[in-house]
Amino acid sequence: MTNRDFNDLSNFSSIWTDSIVNNKQPDGEALITYLKTVHQHHTGFTEKCASTCRDKTGLNSYEWLAEIVPDIDGTRVLDLACGSGPLLKILYDRNRNLKLTGVDISPEELSLAKARLSDESANLFLLKAQDLKTISDSSLDVVLCHWALTLMDPIAPVLNEVRRVLSSGGKFAALVDGPINAAPGYSDVHDLIYGYVKAKIPNYGEIDLGDPRIRNSDSLSDLASEAFPKATINIETNVVSMEGPIAEVTKTAAGFFYASFVLPPEIHNIMLSKLSNLLALKNQKGELENQGRFAMPISRLVIKN
């Protein structure tokens, strides 16, 4: 984890943002370049946000996704878009005899992953999910993807690559956000942040990161069935939340929204202040307290090959 404040944001001008300003769908390369820049400047921010939010049984979203991996020595697992490696670390700490691999496009995120996982504990590669060239056909038992499928466009080659590398009987499980109304107050947080972003880039939201079909359970299920016609497909919903000092809760909530990265610092600070009013708990007189709460809907797609 870098010690940089992940919400001390500057706006990233890029081919990807310029395309949106001009109401054009950016291509896959522009998206990758943009994501690499965001992760270069804010390395480790996903882990910082996601590891602090827990469901009612006490699991964070990494632990909930990790449940899919059987605790059997030698199970071969790929973490697709592993980022700074928190999911791989959870798996390694649970069973040191798993065969773990992680791939990501961000060299900075992979450096963090390498710092926490030795060469013996996981193989880490700088690779695009659309082209897993160093991974052999049918060589994996489980492929996981935590909070990254929504960023991938084109998505069809990603699903085709997952199908290629999975063994028969293998599983693909992906953690994505949503449905938007499954957690109390989440749509208000979304609308507030997107309100500020749209004031700067009106088309942001109509055009967003990744393939929009991943953001909706029905279209996600359809996509999965197209790529895995003979597989069993299941999508479960859960809610993770955090409660704590209002400044911390506000930063964490905003950190889940890539859209907030386009806000210049002064507007970002105004947005944070409005967001903190939204998330602050109220006392019996209706006054805002110094504590806040944020709840986030998550879904777990599981495909059994």
Ligand X SMILES: C[S@@+](CC[C@H](N)C(=O)[O-])C[C@H]1O[C@@H](n2cnc3c(N)ncnc32)[C@H](O)[C@@H]1O
Smallest gap, in angstroms, from Cβ of residue 97 to ligand X? 23
Tokens of 21: 């300003």
Give the burial class of 54: count Cβ atoms within 10 A of its Cβ; 0-12 exposed, 13-18 middle, 19 or more buried: middle
* Contacting range for ligand X; rule: CB under 6 A; set: 148-156, 185-193, 285-293, 295-303: 148-156
CA dihedral 17, 21, 24, 28 (to 10 degrees): 0
Which of 20, 50, 100, 132: binder of ligand X (CB under 6 A)?
A: 50
CA distance 218 to 305: 19
Q: Considering only CA atoms, give the Rg of the chain.
A: 19
Q: Tell me the closest approach of the beta carbon of residue 45 to ligand X, in angstroms.
A: 8
Q: How far apart (Å, rounded) are the C-alpha atoms in residues 299 and 236?
A: 5
Nearer to ligand X, 246 or 298 (CB): 298
Which is closer to ligand X, CB of 7 or CB of 84?
A: 84
30, 42, 86, 165: which one contacts ligand X (CB under 6 A)?
Answer: 86
Q: Which of 69, 129, 174, 224 binds ligand X (CB under 6 A)?
A: 129
- Interatomic CA distance for residues 75 and 16, integer angstroms: 38
Q: Is 82 in the site for ligand X (CB under 6 A)?
A: yes
Query: What number of chain residues touch ligand X (CB under 6 A)?
Result: 24
Quote the least distance from Cβ 172 to ligand X, whole Å.
14
DSSP string spanning 201-258?
STTBTTB-SS-GGGGSHHHHHHHHHHHSTTSEEEEEEEEEEEEEEHHHHHHHHHHT-G
Nearer to ligand X, 151 or 246 (CB): 151
128 near ligand X (CB under 6 A): yes
Instruction: Based on the shown chain and the rule CB under 6 A, indicate whether residue 35 belongs to the binding site for ligand X.
Output: yes
Output 6 or 186, the one with its CB closest to ligand X.
Answer: 6
Least Cβ distance, residue 257 to ligand X (angstroms): 11
Q: Which of residues 152 and 240 has its CB atom nearest to ligand X in the complex?
A: 152
184 is written with which tokens?
A: 């109390």
CB 106 within 8 A of CB 36: yes
- How many C-beta atoms lie closer than 10 Å to residue 265's C-beta? 12
Return the range that interacts with ligand X (CB under 6 A); candidates 2-10, 14-22, 103-111, 272-280.
Answer: 103-111
Q: Residue 94 in contact with residue 128, Cβ under 8 Å? A: no
Q: Which of residues 149-208 bind ligand X (CB under 6 A)?
A: 151-152
By the criterion CB under 6 A, which residues form the site for ligand X?
32, 35, 39, 46-47, 50, 81-84, 86, 103-106, 109, 128-130, 146-148, 151-152
